[in-house]
Chain A
């Protein structure tokens, strides 16, 4: 660019120093103040070159010695690889060094002690009990190898495994709830939304079934008191529905489960007596009436070991 003013005379001198020269000047100035650091790679390269030169001949003795001294200075490239391998192991917390030895990496990621794997509770109890361990009685320490054969030899649908399958049993007992008439939309319009409340009811019924399986005496869904008419109507409707289902399945050739055995019929069977004039218990043959032990005890009246009548102290 043209310079205004009377500084034209000095310009060609400034222009003579091109950018590269300026850089050179700056670099030389910088290097004069700060000597360059030799990286180990450069050192080794130089050492290799010097070694190659050394192998040429023994004639240049002094220069060799100087070079050897220089080599000694430059050949030493930090700790050797062997020492590094000895120091570092897999779980070493502190010093992990690279192969090139120019960067030293300190790894503290594993310096936190992990939770010490202590013995299992059973082993701990056996070990820390007050009895000393008996060396002559060696019990099998591992139960794992004994567990795997059972699971591998039995097929998936073996009865013992099915009996233990809790999920399957629950599904079998509670799936009838999903087909309950309350849920079916045929009673109402098909377009009506299913009541949200019914889903909660199914869950409550399922929970109630599980409680009964665990051993509860009563069910909160059982209606004790109901007008006789209502109960009779409900029972009649349920019977009719069941009868219709069985009839239609029989007509269509569908095999259903066997009907649940009724308790009343058996009781009625027992009450049916052979004759009115026969004795109430025992077998009468001629003039001989034979009684069981069971019948005798029932007649005598039961008392338990404390002399109380059956039932005990009722709270």
Chain B
């Protein structure tokens, strides 16, 4: 390792923070992010969830270092090797890394899980992480995070298309929790055991027609509120969706509100994170094509479950109408894995409205900055769906750490 330290890659802004750090860790190139919320008078600098994500990166990697400026608006990050959970090293207890999330966190746990599951296939050892603390929100959030059920049923199965077998991935929800008062905090507990490591993901060729939606599965969850909300949400969603698909089955999940320790006295706890929500996943006849929708009641309440059910059904229909073989929530994950694959051109059929969003364009630009080749886009001429075939050439990087270590 005597090569001189490469130049920093410079970025600005807080958007796509986790994505940029993930790409940096995967490719091994250091980054320098500046002007993070520098114009915000109230909360300048890094947000609590971003700081927690940095801690998580530090825990699962070996040799990574980060420097945060005094005001918190600038950060430099030198990535290390992705090690995962090696007993005796790092913050491991037993064979899991315990990660504590602060109570000021406002993003759902999938904000942490998504980048972690992108890093996990390339780690040296199994990636076993348990998220605990007063900030774990397992439900969807109003900021647009997925719930943990749609993550498990709509995002993780897509990994199977890359040769990362989902049978060796386990995502256990030990305690569910919605967002606490004001949208911050929650008392959930989630454990991820990622045991399917690969050298390189397989090249994906998902350029055929997305097929027809064959069945709809989902989870209706109520935490700390009456379990009849589940039935009402499911009934309202079925009213909308039954004319389209006959095979609709939604599981109902009821949990008590979690006990979260309050700060004033040692040992005093209160019940936090009550709410309810609905997560729907539509499976298509083509293999690996899944569309998901997620709606949760706002933290301030005041919405009836029938409205939540109807809204979720309409959101699912909107996602399906956008077309393509990936849904907007899993598109960034799929494209990143394609870019980290072998040096071969993979093709993906994606809807016009899915790729024409700010996040996708930002991902494409970031990948090009990190040294991946640009994407090729061409229209689908066969039908009039308006989909686009994206050709992504992999970088052949895989896990930098495994090559060197």
Interface, chain A (partner B; CB < 8 A)? 91, 113-119, 123-124, 127-128, 130-138
CA of A138 to CA of B166 in the docked complex: distance in angstroms?
Answer: 13
Task: State whether A116 and B231 are in contact (beta carbons under 8 Å apart), knowing that A130-B171, A132-B153, A135-B157 are contacts in the complex.
Answer: yes
Task: State whether A116 and B160 are in contact (beta carbons under 8 Å apart), knowing that A127-B153, A133-B153, A135-B287 are contacts in the complex.
Answer: no
Q: Pull 7 A–B residue pairs with CB atoms less than 8 Å apart, ordered by A.
A: A91-B239, A116-B234, A116-B252, A128-B219, A130-B173, A135-B283, A136-B161
Task: State whether A134 and B232 are in contact (beta carbons under 8 Å apart), knowing that A91-B239, A123-B249, A127-B251 are contacts in the complex.
Answer: no
CA of A133 to CA of B167 in the docked complex: distance in angstroms?
Answer: 8
Are A134 and B165 neighbours in the complex by a CB distance under 8 Å?
yes
CA of A135 to CA of B169 in the docked complex: distance in angstroms?
Answer: 14
Task: State whether A116 and B235 are in contact (beta carbons under 8 Å apart), knowing that A123-B249, A124-B251, A133-B166 are contacts in the complex.
Answer: yes
Are B157 and A119 neighbours in the complex by a CB distance under 8 Å?
no
Residues of B within 8 A of A133 (CB): 153, 157, 166
CA of A119 to CA of B219 in the docked complex: distance in angstroms?
Answer: 10
CA of A134 to CA of B156 in the docked complex: distance in angstroms?
Answer: 9
Are A131 and B157 neighbours in the complex by a CB distance under 8 Å?
no
Are A136 and B288 neighbours in the complex by a CB distance under 8 Å?
yes
| B158 interfacial contact with A, CB 8 Å | yes
CA of A137 to CA of B167 in the docked complex: distance in angstroms?
Answer: 10
| B12 interfacial contact with A, CB 8 Å | no
CA of A206 to CA of B290 in the docked complex: distance in angstroms?
Answer: 59
Known: A91-B239, A119-B251, A133-B153. 6 other contacts (CB 8 A): A116-B235, A127-B153, A130-B171, A132-B171, A133-B157, A135-B160
Which B150-191 residues sit within 8 Å CB-CB of chain A? 152-153, 156-161, 165-167, 169-173
Are B157 and A134 neighbours in the complex by a CB distance under 8 Å?
yes
In this complex, the member of A118, A135, A136 whose beta carbon has the largest number of chain B beta carbons within 10 angstroms is A135
Q: Which residue of A lies closest to B166 (CB)?
A: A132
Are B160 and A136 neighbours in the complex by a CB distance under 8 Å?
yes
Residues of B within 8 A of A123 (CB): 249
Are A113 and B157 neighbours in the complex by a CB distance under 8 Å?
no
Q: Taking the nearest CB of chain A, how far is it from the CB of B207, in angstroms?
A: 17
Q: Taking the nearest CB of chain A, how far is it from the CB of B349, in angstroms?
A: 16
Majority-rule SS of A interface residues: loop
Are A116 and B250 neighbours in the complex by a CB distance under 8 Å?
yes
CA of A136 to CA of B230 in the docked complex: distance in angstroms?
Answer: 30
CA of A124 to CA of B250 in the docked complex: distance in angstroms?
Answer: 9
Residues of A within 8 A of B169 (CB): 131-132
Residues of B within 8 A of A114 (CB): 235
Task: State whether A118 and B249 are in contact (beta carbons under 8 Å apart), knowing that A131-B169, A136-B288 are contacts in the complex.
Answer: yes
Residues of A within 8 A of B231 (CB): 113, 115-116
CA of A124 to CA of B167 in the docked complex: distance in angstroms?
Answer: 17
Of the residues A128, A130, A131, A138, contact of B253 by C-beta under 8 Å: A128
Are B157 and A130 neighbours in the complex by a CB distance under 8 Å?
no
CA of A114 to CA of B250 in the docked complex: distance in angstroms?
Answer: 14
A-B contact count (CB 8 A): 72
Residues of A within 8 A of B35 (CB): none
CA of A117 to CA of B219 in the docked complex: distance in angstroms?
Answer: 13
Residues of B within 8 A of A115 (CB): 231
Are B251 and A131 neighbours in the complex by a CB distance under 8 Å?
no
Task: State whether A131 and B160 are in contact (beta carbons under 8 Å apart), knowing that A116-B234, A118-B249, A123-B249 are contacts in the complex.
Answer: no
Q: Taking the nearest CB of chain B, how far is it from the CB of A14, in angstroms?
A: 68
Q: 1/0 per position for B195-229, CB-CB distance to A under 8 A?
A: 00000000000000000000001010000000000
Residues of B within 8 A of A117 (CB): 249
Are B251 and A135 neighbours in the complex by a CB distance under 8 Å?
no
CA of A138 to CA of B160 in the docked complex: distance in angstroms?
Answer: 12
Q: Which residue of A lies closest to B283 (CB)?
A: A135
Are A136 and B287 neighbours in the complex by a CB distance under 8 Å?
yes
Are B172 and A130 neighbours in the complex by a CB distance under 8 Å?
yes
CA of A127 to CA of B280 in the docked complex: distance in angstroms?
Answer: 13
Q: Taking the nearest CB of chain A, how far is it from the CB of B96, in angstroms?
A: 14
CA of A179 to CA of B261 in the docked complex: distance in angstroms?
Answer: 76
Q: Which residue of A lies closest to B231 (CB)?
A: A116
Q: Taking the nearest CB of chain B, how far is it from the CB of A120, in angstroms?
A: 8
Q: Taking the nearest CB of chain A, how far is it from the CB of B20, in angstroms?
A: 26
Task: State whether A118 and B165 are in contact (beta carbons under 8 Å apart), knowing that A128-B219, A136-B287 are contacts in the complex.
Answer: no
Q: Taking the nearest CB of chain B, how far is it from the CB of A131, in angstroms?
A: 6
Are B161 and A135 neighbours in the complex by a CB distance under 8 Å?
yes
Residues of B within 8 A of A137 (CB): 167
Residues of A within 8 A of B283 (CB): 135
Residues of A within 8 A of B252 (CB): 116, 118
In this complex, the member of B169, B251, B287 whose beta carbon has the largest number of chain A beta carbons within 10 angstroms is B251
Residues of A within 8 A of B153 (CB): 127, 132-133
Residues of B within 8 A of A130 (CB): 152, 170-173
Q: Taking the nearest CB of chain A, how far is it from the CB of B353, in angstroms?
A: 23
Residues of A within 8 A of B290 (CB): 135
Q: Which residue of A lies closest to B237 (CB)?
A: A116
Q: Which residue of A lies closest to B219 (CB)?
A: A128
CA of A116 to CA of B229 in the docked complex: distance in angstroms?
Answer: 11
Residues of A within 8 A of B230 (CB): 116
Q: Taking the nearest CB of chain A, how far is it from the CB of B39, in angstroms?
A: 40
Of the residues B157, B234, B235, B239, contact of A132 by C-beta under 8 Å: B157
Q: Which residue of B lies closest to A119 (CB)?
A: B249
Q: Taking the nearest CB of chain B, how far is it from the CB of A68, in angstroms?
A: 42
Q: 1/0 per position for B267-300, CB-CB distance to A under 8 A?
A: 0000000000000000100011010000000000
Residues of A within 8 A of B167 (CB): 131, 134, 137
CA of A273 to CA of B179 in the docked complex: distance in angstroms?
Answer: 90
Q: Which residue of A lies closest to B192 (CB)?
A: A130
CA of A128 to CA of B172 in the docked complex: distance in angstroms?
Answer: 10
